A and B are shown apart, each in its own frame.
Chain A
Amino acid sequence: QVQLQESGPGLVKPSETLSLTCTVSGGSIRSATSFWSWVRQPAGKAPEWIGRIYTTGTTNYNPSFKSRVTISLDASRNQFSLMLTSVTAADTAVYYCAREVRVAVAVGYLDNWGQGTLVTVSA
């Protein structure tokens, strides 16, 4: 069973960059049958998919984040990361990293999730 664990600052100032890392255990980030994804969920709202990365480094992003988001991976550490620039209070949410089962090119469903980490954007 793949396990995922988010880490990073719980408080970020407005206009700064949110950076989170997800450590994967029990499976390889080099897996050809997985995507590695970030999802966020503001309090009391539905989850929102942010984007994913594949072992090749290919990424797909939610257009809602335009050019603010970057997802990268470090295969040597079995980790992947999220950077979200120019944050505002609207980016306050629980951020989850998750594994997607790859069923086709750029198609996957989320079968394993981290426990989530609350990131608050405030001065």
Chain B
Amino acid sequence: EIVLTQSPGTLSLSPGERATLSCRASQGLYTSYLAWYQQKPGQAPRLLIYGASSRATGIPDRFSGSGSGTDFTLTISRLEPEDFAMYYCQQYGSLATFGQGTNVEIK
């Protein structure tokens, strides 16, 4: 099983700041089969990024994904109030597993 480790566990930032979230895989991901999801309380996760760097339909361009192999990053260039939420990475090249999440909270 591929294990995903996200860091940090919690990120405390102010609106307008840049957020950088990390996801590390226990083994290299074939063809960068890595996705990022945003989840707010009481809601289902929402797809942000797939294929490590492709934005899903309707996702603002302040969200960007990068990385390959074992190290991946989600960047939010300027945090908007609605961006404060939990973020999960997921690999889908070997069945599917999720990271434990990063909580982006208002400082």
Contacts and interface: CB of A to CB of B under 8 A. Distances in A.
A33 to B, nearest CB: 14
B1 interface: yes
A115 interface: yes
Interface in A37-73: 45-49, 60, 62-63
Interface of A: 45-49, 60, 62-63, 96, 98, 100-101, 103, 106-111, 113-116
A40 to B, nearest CB: 11
Contacts of A111: 47, 50, 56
Contacts of A107: 33, 92-93
B33 A46 contact: no
Interface residues on B, range: 20 to 34
Contacts of B45: 47, 96, 110, 113
B88 A49 contact: no
A52 to B, nearest CB: 8
Contacts of B56: 111
Given A110-B47, A111-B50, 16 more contacts: A46-B98, A49-B90, A63-B1, A96-B44, A100-B92, A101-B50, A107-B33, A107-B92, A107-B93, A108-B92, A109-B35, A109-B50, A109-B51, A109-B90, A109-B92, A115-B43
